[in-house]
Amino acid sequence: MKYILCIAICIAIACVFSTCATTHPAAVITKQTYTFGYKTTNTAKPGSSTVLLGLIRPSYANNFSFSNFELFDNFRKYMGDDIQQLLNDKGFNLLNKSYASYDEITYTEKKDVQIALDIKIIPTFTAPDGGWTEYRPFSWNGVQAIKYGYSGTVSLSGHIVIKGIEPMTNQQIFTKSLDIPVVQDIPIKTSHQLDYARVNAEFFSEPTVYNALGAALQQSYTNIMHQIDVYLDPQELASYLPEVKELKGKKSF
């Protein structure tokens, strides 16, 4: 009888391990690839505008601490490429190169370029609800490394600021501010494996965070670019040329 009982127990244990071995693992969430694109419908003959522009590629406001993170850096790069193409398609005369900053414009280019466009991206993320949770994973050696997880929602808003600058004097001619469309209730839920309870590179590298924010930026992109398309009107920018001429005439070295 004891022999039969031992066999039954062994069979039960074998079944448990067999079940564990055949259980499908949880789906692994990976970072998606987000691309951005825009094409203007307000096309004109190439070079038909009387304005020669220089483009300072979009950059983030100095107080935005996450500009170098992959997702935000890609967003900025795509926007710069699309604005450069947009300006060409709308008939502006445009230098064949763009600039990372005003300081990269040479003296000769400053003399020739009538208006330099300087574009700042100022995103705002707010967290109306949610918070951090502390986890203490089991440890065989008794040493517990505290881990953290975040769960909640965030909202995206902010502004894009376009400044028109006379390059020789670096004097601002016009400023246009447009809204980043508000995206509310973006769900954020990380794993329980974060080393710190803070928003940093590790936080943004979490696939769930990366994908949620990437989808929000993608949702806003076309609207942002359409507003830029409307604001950069060839006739309006040409109306600033008398002021540009006056400023260049006053500049002396």
User: Is 14 part of a structural domain of the chain?
Assistant: no
Residue 18 has pLDDT above 50, yes or no: no
Output the pLDDT for position 12: 47
Pairing relationship of beta strands 115-135 and 147-166 according to DSSP bridges: antiparallel
* CA R_g for the chain: 27
Residue 24 has pLDDT above 90, yes or no: no
Output the pLDDT for position 28: 77
126-140, 143-157, 166-180: which is most confident: 166-180
User: Is 174 part of a structural domain of the chain?
Assistant: yes
Residue 109 has pLDDT above 90, yes or no: yes
CA dihedral 81, 219, 164, 173 (to 10 degrees): 170
Q: What angle do CA 204, 209, 212 make, to 5 degrees?
A: 130
Query: Within the chain, how many helices (H) and strands (E) appear?
Result: 7, 6
Output the pLDDT for position 34: 93
Residue 22 has pLDDT above 90, yes or no: no
pLDDT tens digits along 60-107: 999 998 999 999 999 999 999 999 999 999 999 998 889 999 999 999
User: Is 84 part of a structural domain of the chain?
Assistant: yes
User: Is 125 part of a structural domain of the chain?
Assistant: yes
- Identity at 90, one-letter amino acid code: K
- Identity at 163, one-letter amino acid code: K
Residue 20 has pLDDT above 60, yes or no: no
* Rounded mean pLDDT, 28-38: 90
pLDDT tens digits along 193-230: 888 888 888 888 899 999 999 999 999 999 999 999 99
The alpha carbon of 247 is separated from its chain's Cα centroid by a whole number of angstroms, namely: 35
pLDDT tens digits along 229-242: 999 999 999 999 99
Burial of 83 per CB tally in 10 Å (0-12, 13-18, 19+):
buried
User: Is 32 part of a structural domain of the chain?
Assistant: no
- Cα distance between the two ends of the chain: 108
Output the pLDDT for position 14: 47
Domain that holds residue 148: 43-240
User: Is 106 part of a structural domain of the chain?
Assistant: yes
DSSP one-letter string for 197-226? SS-SHHHHHSHHHHHHHHHHHHHHHHHHHH
User: Is 170 part of a structural domain of the chain?
Assistant: yes
Output the pLDDT for position 196: 86
Counting the structural domains of the chain, the total is: 1
Q: What angle do CA 33, 36, 41 make, to 5 degrees?
A: 155
C-alpha span between 104 and 164 (Å, rounded): 16
C-alpha span between 75 and 160 (Å, rounded): 13
Output the pLDDT for position 15: 46
Which CATH number characterizes residue 223's domain?
A: 3.30.160.180
The alpha carbon of 18 is separated from its chain's Cα centroid by a whole number of angstroms, namely: 47
How crowded is the C-beta side of 115, counted as CA atoms within 13 Å?
A: 26
Output the pLDDT for position 247: 93
pLDDT band at 8 (very low <50, low <70, confident <90, very high): very low
User: Is 217 part of a structural domain of the chain?
Assistant: yes
